[in-house]
Structure 1
Amino acid sequence: MTRARVVLAGLAAAVALGGCGGLQAEVGAGADKTTPVKAGDARDKLKKLAVKGRAPRTGFEREKFGPAWSDVDHNGCDTRNDILKRDLKQETFKPGTHDCIVLTGVLEDPYGGKTINFKRGNDTSTAVQIDHLIPLSDAWQKGAQQWTPDKRKQFANDPLNLLAVDGPLNNQKSDSDAATWLPPRKGYRCAYIARQIDVKAKYALWVTDGEKAAMERILDTC
C-alpha cells in the first residue's frame, strides 16, 4: 500500500460516522476501517451550526473553487484518482504512474447499493463519479463565497467531502441539499447526513431551516 493510500484510508476511518446502538457507517467502499460514532454526536454538531436562508447563487462558478481535482496534498496524484484508490476495490493502475492513475476497479456504491465495474475511458469513466457530499454551489450559497480562493480549493478537494458513487445518482443529486435529495439506499442515509454535518461543522457552513429539519428527521431514525 502506498503512503498516499495509507493516509487516505486513515482519513476515511477517522471520519466514518454511524447511528445509535453502534450502527457502523461506511465512508467509502474501499476504506480499510470504519469507526462507529453515535448519532448523538452528529446532533450535537448540527445544533451548533448557524441557521440562515440560502444566499443568492450569483457569482458562482466552478472555477472559484480552483482547478478540478487539484493535487492539494502534493502526493503526485490528482484528487479524483486519490478518491478512486480509496473507495474502489481490485484496482489496476496505468503503468508508469506510480499507482496513481486508476484504470479499473470495483465500486460498491454507497448511494444505491449497486456493484459497479469501473473502467477508465471516454465512454465509461462517468459510470463512477466523485461526489461532493456538500455540493460546491450549495456551499457557495451557505458561506463559501466569503472564503479565500485557497480555502475554497481545499474544500473542493477535501477527502472528508468526497465519495466515489454511482454516476447517474450523482447527476440526479446535482447541487441538492438534504432537504431535496437523499441516497435511495436508506441504510446509508444516517452515515450520509452525519458526514454532511461533519463537513459543515469543519468549514462553518450554515444550514437552512428545511435542511436542518431534514437532517434531524434522518438522525431520529438512526
Structure 2
Amino acid sequence: MSGRSRRWSVGDTLAVVVAAAILAWAFAPGAGPDLLRLQQRWGWPAPSGGDALVALGDADVAEALRALPVRDADETPGYQRSSFGQAWADTDRNGCDTRNDILARDLARPVLKPGTHGCVVLSGTLAEPYTGAVIEFRRGEGTSAEVQIDHVVALADAWRAGAWEWEAGRRQELANDPLNLLAVDGEANQDKEAGRADQWLPPEKSFRCPYVARQVAVKTKWGLSVTLAERDAMARVLSGCPDQDLPES
C-alpha cells in the first residue's frame, strides 16, 4: 500500500457540494420540506407565500388551500354578529346549547350540572391550545370567561369571505359548526378578535399548523374565500408541517 495520502479531486469536491445541497433541501427550513421541523419548533423564516404554496406538495390540506377562491377586495355590507343568528343555538337539536357542547367535548373530566339532561358544564380541565397552558375551568360569574369558545374562522371574516350572501339559517349553522369551534383561553380569544392567519396566529407555535389546517378545513367545507395575504400566510405556516392532516370534525 502506498504511504502517500489520497489527493482531493474535483469529483470529491462536487460530491460534497451535492450532498450538502441535498441535506439543506431536506432539512433546512425554507429550502425544502424541513424534515426535522425546525421551522415549526423554532419559528425560523419560511419561504415567501407563493413559493411556500408551491412547495406544499400534494397533501390534502395543501390541495384544499390551493382550491380556495381568492378575493381581491372586501366590498361587502357592514358586519353584525346578529347576522349569524342566536349565539350558541342548539342547531344539532341535542337539547344542549353549542357552548356547553364544545366545553363538554374539549374539557377533560367535565362535571355536569344535575337536572340539566347532561348539558350544563360546571367544571373541567382544559389543555388550552392557543397558549399551551392548563386551565381549571369553573362555571361562575367571575370565572366562566376564563374559557371562551372561539370561532377559528372568525364570523366577521366569514362574512367578508362570502357569508354575507347567504340566508340567515346557513350563517347560523356555520356559527355553531363544531369544526369551527374550540374552547380556548379567554384573553387569547380577545387578542385574536377577527384576525385572519396573516393577522394573528396562536402564541403556542406548536399549535399553529393544526390551527391553520382547521381554518382551511372550515373555509373548504363552507365555500369561503381567502385574501392573497391570508393564503400566503397559511402556506408559510403549513410549509413547516408537510404531514399535517386536514381536520374533518
What's the TM-score once normalised by structure 2's chain length?
0.73
Q: Does 1:96 align with 2:115?
A: yes
Q: 1: CA distance between counterparts of 2:126 and 2:118?
A: 18
- Which residue of structure 2 lines up, in the alignment, with residue 35 of structure 1? none
Q: Does 1:77 align with 2:87?
A: no
SS in 2 for 1:138: helix
- Which residue of structure 2 lines up, in the alignment, with residue 154 of structure 1? 173
Q: 2: CA distance between counterparts of 1:39 and 1:196?
A: 18
Q: 2: CA distance between counterparts of 1:154 and 1:183?
A: 25
Q: Alpha carbons of 1:188 and 1:124: their partners in 2 closer, same or farther (altered >3 Å)?
A: same
Deviation at residue 58 of structure 1 after TM alignment: 3.4
Find the partner of 2:211 among 192, 198, 204. Answer: 192
Deviation at residue 142 of structure 1 after TM alignment: 1.0
Q: Match of 2:153, as an amino acid?
A: I
Q: Report Cα offsets for 1:155-178 as digits up to 9, x if no partner.
A: 000000000001000000000000
Percentage of pairs with the same residue: 50
Find the partner of 2:69 among 40, 50, 59. Answer: 50
Find the partner of 2:189 among 170, 189, 192. Answer: 170
Q: Match of 2:98, as an amino acid?
A: T
Q: Which runs of 5+ in 2 are unaligned?
A: 1-32, 38-56, 242-249
Q: Report Cα offsets for 1:4-44 as digits up to 9, x if no partner.
A: xxxxxxxxxxxxxxx998x9xxxxxxxxxxxxxx9821110
How many positions carry a matched residue from both structures? 189
Q: 2: CA distance between counterparts of 1:193 and 1:53?
A: 21
SS in 1 for 2:212: helix
Find the partner of 1:141 among 138, 144, 160. Answer: 160
Q: Which runs of 5+ in 1 are unaligned?
A: 1-18, 24-37
Q: Report Cα offsets for 1:169-220 as digits up to 9, x if no partner.
A: 0000000000010001111111111110000000110000100000000010
Find the partner of 1:87 among 106, 110, 120. Answer: 106
Q: Alpha carbons of 1:163 and 1:173: their partners in 2 closer, same or farther (altered >3 Å)?
A: same
Q: 2: CA distance between counterparts of 1:71 and 1:201?
A: 23
Runs of 4 or more consecutive aligned structure 1 residues displaced over 2 Å after TM superposition = 56-59
Q: 2: CA distance between counterparts of 1:191 and 1:54?
A: 27
Q: 1: CA distance between counterparts of 2:128 and 2:58?
A: 22
